[in-house]
Structure 1
Amino acid sequence: MKKLFLLVLLIIGITTVSRAAYMLIPMDEETQKNHLKAYGITYWVLDKGEEAWWLLNYRGGSFAFPHNRLFELECLTRGVSFEIIADAQFNKILEDISNPEVNMDALKLEVPPKIAVYTPTVNQKGEKVQPWDDAVTMVLTYAEIPYETVYDTEVMTDMLPKYDWLHLHHEDFTGQYGRFYRSYHNEPWYRNNQRTMEALAASLGFAKVSQLKLGVVKKIQEYVVGGGFMFAMCSATDTYDIALAADGLDICADMYDGDPADPNAQQKLNFSKTFAFKDFQLRRNPLEYEYSNIDDTQDRNVRPDQDYFTLFDFSAKWDPVPTMLTQNHTRTVKGFMGQTTAFRKSLVKSDVLVLGENKPAQEVRYIHGTMQEGFWTFYGGHDPEDYRHLVHDPETDLNLHPNSPGYRLILNNVLFPAAKKKKRKT
């Protein structure tokens, strides 16, 4: 009986210690072995029904949650660095963070966001439609964050409200098939993609692919206005706004939709409809691998070894949203190219928040904005760890880049919807 009593006391003691402790997931450069999987751990903890804390600007934007043996084992399994700290020590961290003199804040994360990736996964024959990868799907897979895929049918049948966060895969929303005609129109993947998209447009009641894509753009806009979180990279950024500005116009040459483009389309663009960009000029040569002058890929004079952009510092207590989106273990991020690499600063609307820029080149790389109840973020470039990703290039192995600052920015956006909304200070 005495031994049984001691055993019960021991179990109670262990349980008490566990409940009175927190797990800190440090996100500074010196301590964290795998920054990317740390986001996956935090998502997984939320999915298990536990709340977590995002400690903005504290050791690189660390995470914390109540200690649990299962959570500890999962961190060990995924190779994520962690520290076990006493309850009193965690409360002291929160107290220090709350000091109005320090640029830090603690935000509670409550519910894991349900994630959708807008992507054409396969064609009618089950073949991969596009011969390139997507940074977001790669990092979600690597971080072990679950997601579902949607495409035009799901969007047009109003499936988006099921999701909290939507990523737009490398896409051409103008209906010009990525402007790949000159280089790839004789390749099987290009012809298959064109046939598949034309059939899909017809099945959804549209005469042209460009009209279908405009319909998709408007549905996504409704999703954002209603409170959704939309994230886009590479050509899904500028072509989204171009499609909105060109609503009701034909900007596609005959090789894309069977009839000529409106020669006066430029003068008829409506920039009041766009999310981010204004006063841009369409590139009228249909064989040019570019849509407009929003993107400065062809004109930028930046050497690869000097291609960096700088993240802005925001007030964690007054501006928690941009602070969340720029959490990193460095403020200087290596640049990377894409069909849409960077945005000309002069063409960005004044109410758009610039999160990261290459100031000498007068270009912005990472921008954010609101639209009524929702949020959107545009991120220039194709793959943060593949400087000049080309068609048919192999996927990046993220096991070689577990601490990528560029990929961290994507994952900041993924966890952003999980944050408990705080009343803005007045």
Structure 2
Amino acid sequence: MKQLLTLLFFLFQLTTLLGQKLLIPMDITQENHLKAYGLTFWALEADIEIEWLLNYQGGSFLMDYSDKIARECRIRGVNYLTLDAGSILNIYTEIEANNMEVILLEKAPKIAVYTPPNKQPWDDAVTLALEYAEIPYDKLWDLEVLKGDLSKYDWLHLHHEDFTGQYGKFYASYHSASWYIRQQLQYEEMAADLGYLSVSEEKKSVARTIKDYIRNGGFLFAMCSATDSYDIALAAEGVDIVDVPFDMTPVSPNFNAKLDYSKTLVFKDFTLVTNPSVYEFSDIDAVPG
């Protein structure tokens, strides 16, 4: 009987300590996932500790309830639940019994987006998502990367970048388009100002600088052409892999054999596609069959 009373007293103390919590679900019950991420970021900026419930309702976020947070959720159109101590204990019990995890978030990361000063004809999905979610970020480009500004940031998001210096391999379709010509001139001027003989060599240097940033603890998110062209640029250090339309010089003889896969982050044993008329960098991409 004494043990039971002790247990009941402990549970009472625990539920009192827990108090009310606010849960932001991230499963199908959440009507606006991007805004929910933004709300969570906003809370971290306000020094509110958050528990990220991995694999629970889509990776939900749990924090102490306050009228201020609840009001901000309503303003941003974010679905949330107010939980009492019993409900919170049930969540922790479910997490403990299943393939779930609780990660404590204490600090809002400082985010940089690597994006060109000029916008291309298509949308940049990274900046669009961050703007909509209301997550603050800074923009930087090659000059800022090469002078060491990456050390100021926790996360780097890559634009749809071509780190091989082939302007996205759009030569066949767009080489006579005004935006393509402007972009090539802008990139060539930038590379020259930074002391490089070609855009290709300048972009390789940027790729190596980003690799150092990762080695020093930075986080990287890349998408689209930035994923494979990045590793290609790392592997091609000291090898000319871009043809005449891009740097006025032919590719190095036997260039594929000269690639150094030990310098890449992810991919290896790939074969490059250097034909300017072919919209592909290499055989890294898998075509569904």
Instruction: Give the TM-score taking structure 2 as reference length.
Output: 0.91
How do 1:7-406 residues align onto structure 2 when only pairs under 5 Å count? 20-29=19-28, 31-99=29-97, 102-122=98-118, 128=119, 130-296=120-286, 299-301=287-289
Distance 2:58 2:168 in 1: 37
Amino acid at match of 1:300: P
Measure, in 2, the Cα distance between the counterparts of 1:232 and 1:189. 24
C-alpha displacement of 1:201:
0.6
Q: Secondary structure at the match of 1:121?
A: coil
Q: Any stretches of 5+ residues in structure 1 without a counterpart? A: 1-16, 123-127, 302-426
Whole-Å Cα distance in 2 between the matches of residues 171 and 106 of structure 1? Answer: 35
Instruction: Work out the CA distance in 2 between the residues paired with 1:121 and 1:200.
Output: 11
Distance in 2 separating the partners of 1:240 and 1:72: 42
Matched residue SS, 2:139: strand
Over the residues paired in the alignment, what is the CA RMSD in angstroms?
1.4
Counting aligned pairs with the same residue, the percent is: 53
Q: Read off the aligned partner of 1:116 and give its amino acid letter.
A: A
Distance 1:284 1:208 in 2: 16
Structure 2 distance, partners of 1:27, 1:35, is 6
**Deviation for aligned residue 1:88:** 4.4
SS at 1:28's partner residue? coil
Question: Displacement of 1:120 after TM fit?
Answer: 0.1
How far residue 179 of structure 1 moved from its aligned partner, in angstroms, is 1.1
User: Residue 117 of structure 1 aligns to which amino acid in structure 2?
Assistant: V
> What CA distance in whole angstroms lies between the structure 1 residues aligned with 2:116 and 2:274?
27
Task: Give the AA of the match of 2:65.
Answer: H
Return the letter of the residue paired with 1:82.
Answer: Y
Distance (whole Å) between structure 2 residues aligned to residue 67 and residue 284 of structure 1: 57
- Runs of 4+ aligned residues of structure 1 deviating over 6 Å after TM superposition are none
The CA distance in 1 between the partners of 2:178 and 2:274, in whole Å, is: 26
Higher RCO, Cα 8 Å, sep 6+: 1
Q: Distance in 1 between matches of 2:117 and 2:91?
A: 45
Distance 1:51 1:117 in 2: 25
- 2:101 maps to a residue whose letter is D
* Secondary structure at the counterpart of residue 222 of structure 2: strand
Note the residue ranges of structure 2 that are not aligned, 5 or more in a row.
Answer: 1-15
Count how many residue pairs are aligned between Structure 1 and Structure 2.
Answer: 273
Distance of 1:291 and 1:106 partners within structure 2: 40
Q: How far apart are the structure 1 equivalents of 2:43 and 2:52?
A: 13
Q: Aligned equivalents of 2:85 and 2:142: distance in 1?
A: 49
